[in-house]
Amino acid sequence: MKRPYVFITRKLKEELLTPLFEMADVKMWDSESEAVPREILMKEAQKATALLTMLSDKVDKELLEQAPNLKVVANLAVGYDNIDVKVASERGVIVCNTPDVLTETTADLTFALMLATARRITEAQGFVKEGRWQSWSPFLLAGADVHHKTLGIVGMGKIGQAVARRAKGFGMEILYHNRSRHMEAEQEVGASYRSFEQLLAESDFVVCLTPLTDETKHLFDHDAFKRMKNSAFFINVGRGQVVDEEALIVALNSDEIAGAGLDVFYAEPIGSDHPLLRFPQVVAIPHIGSASVETRETMMKLCRDNIVAVIQGNKAKTVI
């Protein structure tokens, strides 16, 4: 019988994938840091039984229609806006993601980004490393407090809830906006539901964790930033396209908001000439929400297990 063919779109540690090598012919793209070119992914998809993809790989209608043997796409991310799940389902292709295993790690990063932005950590580091520290002074790199402020979480999923738990330890008041009320979060951390507009008006830190969908695209537009307090910070660890970046630039330029911490961008990767990088009050990091070694390895193993399950005719653990 013909062995299944698995294509993995980045170079991953082989030892994490062992059971796959035993049961399938496995090919990995030979770079850990550079995305597989589209034309190669398209070619590989034509032969593949399974694809292990990154959030930077587009698994769209065009690709799916040219992948007659494809049974499963295991995406190394909790978000799956890079995959046309509707077309995949119509074609009987199972799509899996990596929920739960990255929750706490991504919440850590979200909190770190919020602290770094409010307390000007990266600016302060530059100040020391560039030899600009001449003397101590009372307001040198003075930022904003995080403790006991009001946190507004947009997208109260598991990561939002984990961020809220951390915020509780900082004595913050926690507001949230979500498609539906989240009673568990309300009970566990005392989070209060607000309309999107109310949340923007009341929060000192607006944290965006909502997935990218047709409804959330450009949710943060001119109007949204105008509604925020001038002293408030915008933190995005969701998806870049939830934000109208032009509107964010205007808001920062005109001091409508105090600053932004951004892990995600409209079109990734961004170059060093990206206009958002000109603002000292912007902390920008390269989409590393779930990037701890432990969590990334666990995510890879989950993708592996999902592919193994589908190839063996079993139910995958985390099907979208």
- What DSSP string runs through 52-81? EE-TTS-B-HHHHHT-TT--EEEESSS--T
Is 268 catalytic? The answer is yes
The Cα–Cα gap between 81 and 239 comes to 9
Longest dimension (CA), the chain: 74
Listed ranges 1-9, 76-84, 183-191, 198-206: which one lies at the site for ligand DGY (CB under 6 A): 76-84
The contact mask relative to ligand DGY for 98-137 (x = CB under 6 A, - = no) is ----x-----------------------------------
Residue type, 262: L
By CB under 6 A, is residue 74 in contact with ligand DGY? no
- The Cα angle at residue 225 between residues 223 and 230, in degrees rounded to 5: 130
Listed ranges 149-157, 190-198, 251-259, 285-293: which one lies at the site for ligand DGY (CB under 6 A): 285-293
User: Among residues 264, 269, 219, which one has the least CA distance to residue 244?
Assistant: 219
List 232, 257, 289, 295, residue binding ligand DGY (CB under 6 A):
289
By CB under 6 A, is residue 77 in contact with ligand DGY? yes
Q: How far is CA 34 from CA 73, 95, 171, 203, 233, in A?
A: 20, 23, 42, 38, 32
Cβ 129 to ligand DGY shortest distance, Å? 27
Cβ 268 to ligand DGY shortest distance, Å? 10
| DSSP H or E run through 121 | helix 121-129
By CB under 6 A, is residue 290 in contact with ligand DGY? yes
Catalytic residue among 120, 239, 296, 304: 239
Listed ranges 4-12, 74-82, 246-254, 302-310: which one lies at the site for ligand DGY (CB under 6 A): 74-82
What residues make contact with ligand DGY under the rule CB under 6 A? 55, 77-79, 102, 287, 289-290
